[in-house]
Structure 1
Amino acid sequence: MLEIIGLSYAGQALYEALVERSPATLAELGHAASTAADLEELGLITRLPEDPPRYVAVSPGTGLDALIRARTQKLAAARHRAAQLTARFHRSVPDRDPAELVEVAIGQDAVSRWFQRLQESARRQIRVFDTPPYATPAGGNAVEFELLERGVEYRGLYDRRALEVPGTLSLITRYVAAGEQARVGDVPVKLALNDHPMAIMPLHHDRHAVESALVVHDSTLLDALSALFEMYWERAVPLQVRHGRLAEATGPADAQRDLLPLLAAGLTDAAVAAHLGWSDRTVRRHVHALMVQLDARTRFQAGYQAVLRGWLDP
């Protein structure tokens, strides 16, 4: 496991032995002098001035943390250099062959590989439209949990029908608990986008198994797909985990809860005001606030959206 910060297998074994048993000679531990020299150079062990020499381990909180920081700085420098080279590449190749901007992935294995590539090439963000039908019940995206832990932002917009698929609610709960930003609403098509930039979407939206997909690279089509996601994202309802269960993060205020059933029943402002003891102005203010919150243009749409979101449930 510590190979990633520069330790060989033998070096890791010697260091772990000295962590548990310091000071000790190499003969007592059964390790070579060259391995000890490597660990000394890395600042993980210290040789005592004795004959034969004995070695002690430097605290992992000091030695290993220093190596991790150094490796992190190198990775950050490499990432910065990669960004510079990417910018130079785009400047030197301003007109990409149009035939390369959209590819077709054929076969479930090819589609899966492209989705894996899309996730692994993301730098900061991945956005996903998730909607049935599914070939099989959702089994989880292990890569997402790994990338969330690394700091990659996931935004998932789930179609309301997806929440009715067995196992999906518990899976989304795990994603949200791990850091995903999730919303629920109307989803027009399966879609995944990253900031590479790249997108992947199925050629046919009504098939249970995604047998073929479009892979879209940096282009105006990708810009349009990104704008489509953001438009639906703004209209969707945020989800959060409360008491270990998935729930909508927003809902109507108490006054709006009293108002909603009356709107759904088709009452006029005057009738609502008389029933609730409000002024006409107060009714209009709450109606306007509800329509903005529900992204509705008419009262009927507001009532419909409230029903869909469960706001009229007892």
Structure 2
Amino acid sequence: MLEIIGLSHAEQALYEALVERSPATLGELGHAAPTAARLEQLGLITRLPDDPPRYVAVSPETGLDALIRARTRELAAARHRAAQLGARFHGAAPGQDSTDLVEVVVGKDAVSRAFQRLQESARRLIRVLDAPPYATPVGGNAVEFELLERGVEYRALYDRRAMEVPGTQSLITRYVAAGEQARVGDVPVKLALNDHPMAIMPLRHDGHDVESALVVHDSTLLDALAALFEMCWERAVPLQVRHGRLAEATGPADARRDLLPLLAAGLTDPAIAAHLGWSDRTVRRHVRAMMLRLDAQTRFQAGYQAVLRGWLDEP
């Protein structure tokens, strides 16, 4: 069992014997000195100054956890190296055939592996348009938590339908608490992009499961997908964790609190500027930003959407 963190069968047997029976001599336990020396080197046991020497086990929570963390760092470094080699592989031929720019992966396992590869090959940024159906049951993306801890930025836009999937809101709460930038809105297609550059999206838009996907490498198609993400992101509503629960963020509260009642009342830009003491340019900038966030085509729609969302009722 413990071979995965570097212990031989004999070393594991001696450590387990000392966990159950400490202190004890090697003669009492029937083990050889080299095995004990190796466990001392790993920080799993301590020798007492007796003659013959007796040994005691270091608590598993301390000793084994240190070995597990070390192995985790080694695996993370190996994944990073694999991502670097993948980048060389896909970028090795500047004149590569256009068919190499798009891969088709088939099967839920293959789709999951492709998404994991996309995450692990990211340098600084991952962007996700998230919506049902899911290739795997909603249960947490362990890779995301690892990468967030390493400083990789995650920007995730969740479709409102995803909020109805059991367990999704509590999971997003954990992501946001770990550092993810999250928003909610209308998602036209499931999509994930990294700065490798690479993207993955379903091969088909219908059905109940993601059985196949397209993996897109550096191309103008990738530029178009990135632009689609940014357009959807600008129109979505930020999410935040408030009192331990997921909630829509209020954004720049002071500016919105001053602007929205006047916008909902139908005042013109010059009238709003005169009322608030802003320049016409400042008013136009805030109105454009507000319309994007509310996914409104007109000022009237923006005011109406603000009322529906209860933004005018906020303190």
Instruction: Tell me the TM-score normalized by structure 1.
Output: 0.71
Q: 1:312 to 1:219 in 2, by over 3 A?
A: same
Q: In the alignment, which residue of structure 1 is the partner of 2:24?
A: 24
Distance in 1, Cα, partners of 2:116 & 2:205: 20
Please list, as runs of the form range in 1=range in 2, the aligned pairs for 1:231-250 lying within 5 A after superposition: 231-250=231-250
Q: 1:164 to 1:53 in 2, by over 3 A?
A: closer
Distance in 1, Cα, partners of 2:58 & 2:270: 79
User: Does the residue aligned with 2:94 lie in a helix, a strand or coil?
Assistant: coil
Give the aligned residue type for 2:225. L
Distance in 1, Cα, partners of 2:72 & 2:106: 38
Distance in 2, Cα, partners of 1:246 & 1:82: 35
Report whether the alignment pairs 1:194 with 2:205. Answer: no
Q: 1:149 to 1:55 in 2, by over 3 A?
A: same
User: Does the residue aligned with 2:115 lie in a helix, a strand or coil?
Assistant: helix
Distance in 1, Cα, partners of 2:267 & 2:158: 33
Structure 1 position 157, deviation (Å): 0.6
The answer to whether the Cα contact below 8 Å between 2:22 and 2:55 also exists between their aligned partners in 1 is yes
Q: In the alignment, which residue of structure 2 is the partner of 1:173?
A: 173
Q: In the alignment, which residue of structure 2 is the partner of 1:140?
A: 138
Q: 1:308 to 1:14 in 2, by over 3 A?
A: farther
Unaligned runs of 5+ in 1: none
The answer to whether the Cα contact below 8 Å between 2:119 and 2:143 also exists between their aligned partners in 1 is no
Identity %: 77
Q: In the alignment, which residue of structure 2 is the partner of 1:163?
A: 163
Deviations 1:116-161 (A, max 9, x none): 54445556543210235x379x95243x135304535432111344
Structure 1 position 95, deviation (Å): 2.8
Structure 1 position 270, deviation (Å): 7.9
The answer to whether the Cα contact below 8 Å between 1:25 and 1:54 also exists between their aligned partners in 2 is yes
Distance in 2, Cα, partners of 1:90 & 1:110: 18
* Number of residue-to-residue matches in the alignment: 307
Q: In the alignment, which residue of structure 2 is the partner of 1:93?
A: 93
Compute the RMSD of aligned alpha carbons.
4.4
User: Does the residue aligned with 2:174 lie in a helix, a strand or coil?
Assistant: helix
Q: 1:158 to 1:7 in 2, by over 3 A?
A: same
The answer to whether the Cα contact below 8 Å between 1:118 and 1:193 also exists between their aligned partners in 2 is yes
Q: 1:3 to 1:50 in 2, by over 3 A?
A: same
Instruction: Tell me the TM-score normalized by structure 2.
Output: 0.71
Give the aligned residue type for 1:242. R
Distance in 1, Cα, partners of 2:250 & 2:65: 42
Q: 1:191 to 1:270 in 2, by over 3 A?
A: closer
Q: In the alignment, which residue of structure 2 is the partner of 1:104?
A: 104
Give the aligned residue type for 1:205. H
Give the aligned residue type for 1:199. A
Distance in 2, Cα, partners of 1:123 & 1:2: 32
Distance in 2, Cα, partners of 1:110 & 1:128: 18
Structure 1 position 303, deviation (Å): 2.4
Distance in 2, Cα, partners of 1:227 & 1:40: 56
Report whether the alignment pairs 1:36 with 2:32. Answer: no
